[in-house]
Amino acid sequence: MKRAFIALKISLTKESEKIFIEIKSKLKGEKINWVDNQNMHITLFFLGETEEKQISEIGRKLQDIVREIKPFVFICKGLGVFKNINDPRVIWIGIKKSDDLNFLKQKVDMLMHNFGFEIESHNFKPHLTLGRIKHVKNKAILAELIEKYSEYTFQDVSVNEGIFYESILTSQGAIYKKIQTFKMNAEI
């Protein structure tokens, strides 16, 4: 069994990385588990604990689907939190509405449904998790950062592949290991 998920890897630009450092610096001392730059991604589907045989089967079908999609670009824009500012759990960079990204998500969801996985009922809210919040004492600083970057365009992201990851939980946080990469079709 592997704890698996399907995602798009994101590499921060120097400018986005600078802002991420600023955010971490302003929230220093708060109980936040920051995501390592090497682990930045947008989750398309979280499978949870899955048999390796099923991962292989899904991987083959996923490659067929992704091969029918051309590479695309989306925009990382805005800073926010999940649940809400009074009870923040995740600090994230948002993704501007992208028909291409939504199309890919729908294709992945259909495939996963065909494999018997339950599809989330709420709307897909693509985001780049910066940190998981355990507790924030100074919510005013967090609110200021969100206000400052709520409409900020962080970067464009070029997508030409999807990745099947294994998530290995450790006491220092999750380690993500590539299981399989799915290349999109630039010839379309």
Mark whether 41 is an active-site residue: yes
| Angstrom distance (rounded) from CA 26 to CA 146 | 12
Burial of 36 (C-beta count, 10 Å sphere; 0-12/13-18/19+): exposed
Burial of 80 (C-beta count, 10 Å sphere; 0-12/13-18/19+): middle
Residue type, 130: L
| Angstrom distance (rounded) from CA 20 to CA 36 | 11
Mark whether 135 is an active-site residue: no
Q: E strand or H helix at 74, and its extent?
A: strand 72-84
- Catalytic residue (one of 41, 113, 122, 135): 41
What are the catalytic residues?
41, 127
